[in-house]
Amino acid sequence: MAIKLYDLAGAEDDHRFSPYCWRVKMALAHKGIAFETLPWRFTEKDRIAASGQGSVPVMEDNDRSLHDSWEIANYLDETYQDGPALFPNEEAKAATLFLKFWTERVLHPLLMRLILTDVHDGLHEKDKDYFRTSREKMLGTSLEAVCEDRETHLETLGKGLAPLRATLDAQPFLGGSSPSFADYIVFGAFQWARCSSATEVLVKDDSVKAWRQRLLEMHDGMAANAKRPAA
């Protein structure tokens, strides 16, 4: 039985933009594991209640239910040892943990300031109130206020990408000569932006943009073919 992945969807079933779910979809494709995705909305907590929490990705592999993108990546490497590794070794995994937290605590907030209102606008009607209320409570301000002054936020993102740019100036992937889960973690953030907003967040033709393009085209263009909002 193919692996099933609950994947956050917007108004349309095939609009998929969750950064954490993109990590896992890229990881499954990397390992050559067949999977099917099930569209899931924020307000459908009952459908993933068996996982004991309320966030996606949730992955079902036969009778096993897993959640959390990091835990899922670890499980995939441990369980499917024939396919290429997501973490080439324990040392690489340890260093990837830093990239995970940099992505979640630095990169996601930088991107959020550019896309949050677009994320909201692309949601299913039944999710919009939940999203606005939960995010505005967390942020202490309105979605619109977070996204004010786009030019400044674009400039701040450009500067914030300096370590990523320097790394990708020196090597084609964060994993070195080929991608690893480190690449998919960071790529998931840019795919979140790309699939949520029609506006480009990578405005310079630099090594980051070229790297994103390589990943978009990988795995038969799985990410390149993902639905985006119309410009």
Q: Provide the binding-site residues for ligand GSH, judged by CB under 6 A.
A: 8, 18-20, 42, 54-57, 68-70, 134
Of 39 and 158, nearer to ligand GSH (C-beta) is 39
> What is the smallest separation between the CB atom of 178 and ligand GSH, expressed in angstroms?
23
> What is the smallest separation between the CB atom of 94 and ligand GSH, expressed in angstroms?
17
What is residue 67's three-state secondary structure?
Answer: strand
Of 104 and 206, nearer to ligand GSH (C-beta) is 104
Question: Which runs of E-coded beta strand occur in the chain?
Answer: 3-8, 35-40, 58-61, 64-67
What is residue 105's three-state secondary structure?
Answer: helix
The counts of H helices and E strands in the chain are 10, 4
**Strands of the sheet with 3-8, listed across from one edge:** 35-40, 3-8, 58-61, 64-67
Task: Write out the two tokens for 209.
Answer: 């943009």
Of 72 and 207, nearer to ligand GSH (C-beta) is 72
The residue whose Cβ lies closest to ligand GSH is 55
> What is the smallest separation between the CB atom of 206 and ligand GSH, expressed in angstroms?
26
Of 69 and 191, nearer to ligand GSH (C-beta) is 69
